Structure 1
Amino acid sequence: MRMLKRWLLRLAFALLGLVALVGLYVATAFALVMWPANAEPGHAPDKVAEVQAWVLSNGVHTDYVFPIRSATVDWLQVFPLSDFRAPPPDAEFVAIGWGDREFYLNTPTWGDLTAARAFGALSGGNRALVHVSYLRRAQLARGAYRLPLSEAQYARLVDYVRASLPQGRATAIAGAHYDSQDAFYEANGGYNLFETCNTWSGRGLRLAGVPMSRWTPFDFTVTWHLAPGHP
């Protein structure tokens, strides 16, 4: 009986420690939202944007959304249509995200999510992938947040995305698709509890000079300082 009590006490302390660590993780994310980088007057959220771009959130994960072609880059030259099954002919935008390889490939819908898969992603050790979709304008009707980018800021963000590809080149994962308008590509880095899909998004926006939390593990930490909006 004494041994059982001792083990139960240890288990209770372990659970309390886990709860405390989770609380610290979330509290840190909230606190850093209130201390954004690039929060100078020149980066006011209502300034006129030279490039029409967005962050797209599904409530958990964030993607960049850019015009397919601009003076800075033609994304069709980076992610050619031949890598996609049947992208919409009237697509105007490209959505680009980064994430855990196993999670991306095996969780096409939230119904496919398992505790083991989520724990595997957060514990680290898996390589990353870049996910790309060509989108119609109507597909930005929900979950879109306006990015007020200058041409120079957009160029820095483009460089950041390219740097996420091994040797700066897009290598498609054969046969890996959610639908007809998306494709997966090899990526640099690995996913873990402190390096999430959203920290990747937030880091690029900070480097581009967009007002952004100094750490963005959750989708809301990426979108907090952005204004909702769609084309």
Structure 2
Amino acid sequence: MTNGIHTDIVVPANNEQMDWRKEIKFSDTKSADTSSEYLAFGWGDRKFYLETPTFSDLKLSTGLNAILGLSKSAMHTTYYKYVQENKECVKIMISTEQYAKLVKYISASFKTDAEHHFINIKTKLNYDNADAFYEAIGSYSLFKTCNTWSNSALKSCNQKCCYWTIFDSAIFQKYN
């Protein structure tokens, strides 16, 4: 899924292989609505996510620290009741083995506490009522962006992907 700049990986919130609801709790969202069927994951720069509600709010220091890999990362998660397939959201059918690899890749992107649970970032700066932020592993940089993370997620489960990309358009061209 893309918003035209940033890509997310969207999966079922719960299926026989993985119940993401155990780690990405509905109670971590503003709505706490338990009726969502899908969950989107987007890795990115923590300060950008939490301190830049719109591009007009972007501070030079935030942008430079992100480009240079000097800041922490975060995982932005969003629950959806339904997802509509269109040019911004492409459905990919994968096997149970491929999904297991994708689950492993996504899970390994989260920082965890002593009990191995994802660490929720408490904030009131959510994008909507069904999203939450979590501590993530790695640093955003010019060479590792939200889109390289999503591309690597696709690569991890043997899907069409780019050798490397910082842009969403290169990924979506693979699925035209």
Same fold (TM over 0.5): yes
Tell me the SS of whatever aligns to 2:92. Answer: strand
Match of 1:90 in 2: 35
Cα RMSD (Å) of the superposition? 1.9
What amino acid sits opposite 1:171 in the alignment?
Answer: I
CA distance in 1, matches of 2:85, 2:160: 22
Decide which structure has greater strand share.
1
- Aligned to 2:44, the other structure's residue is in SS state strand
User: Cα distance, 1:141 vs. partner?
Assistant: 5.8
Which deviates the most, 174-183 or 75-84? 174-183
After the TM superposition, list the runs of 4 or more consecutive aligned residues in structure 1 that deviate by more than 4 angstroms.
Answer: 138-142
Aligned to 1:201: 150
1:101 to 24, 46, 50: 46
Trace 1:38-53 onto structure 2 (pairs within 5 A). none
User: 2:70 — aligned with what?
Assistant: 125
- Between the aligned partners of 1:185 and 1:207, the Cα distance in structure 2 is 21
- Say yes or no: does 1:188 pair with 2:137: yes
Select which of 166, 174, 190 maps to 2:122.
Answer: 174
**Runs of at least 5 residues in structure 2 that lack an aligned partner in the other structure:** none
Task: Report whether the alignment pairs 1:63 with 2:12.
Answer: no
Q: 1:112 to 1:225 in 2, by over 3 A?
A: same
Structure 2 CA distance for partners of 1:72 and 1:141, relative to 1, 3 Å: same
Q: 1:142 to 1:213 in 2, by over 3 A?
A: closer
Structure 1: where are the runs of 5+ without partners? 1-55
Give the CA deviation at 1:203.
0.8
Aligned length: 172
What's the CA shift string for 1:28-79, capped at 9, x where partnerless?
xxxxxxxxxxxxxxxxxxxxxxxxxxxx101110001111111110110121
Q: In the alignment, is residue 217 of structure 1 matched against residue 162 of structure 2? A: no
Q: How big is each residue's C-alpha offset from its partner over 1:147-175, in whole Å with a ceiling of 9 and x where there is no partner?
A: 23111111100110110112453100112
Measure, in 1, the Cα distance between the counterparts of 2:173 and 2:149. Answer: 16
State percent identity of aligned pairs: 37
TM-aligned CA deviation for residue 90 of structure 1: 3.3
- C-alpha deviation, 1:137, in angstroms: 1.2
Structure 2 distance, partners of 1:138, 1:71, is: 20
Structure 1 residue 194: Cα displacement? 0.3
Structure 1 distance, partners of 2:165, 2:96, is 24
By percentage of residues, which structure has more helix?
A: 1
| CA distance 1:148–1:128, shift in 2 (3 Å) | same
Q: TM-score, normalised by structure 1?
A: 0.69
Match of 1:28 in 2: none
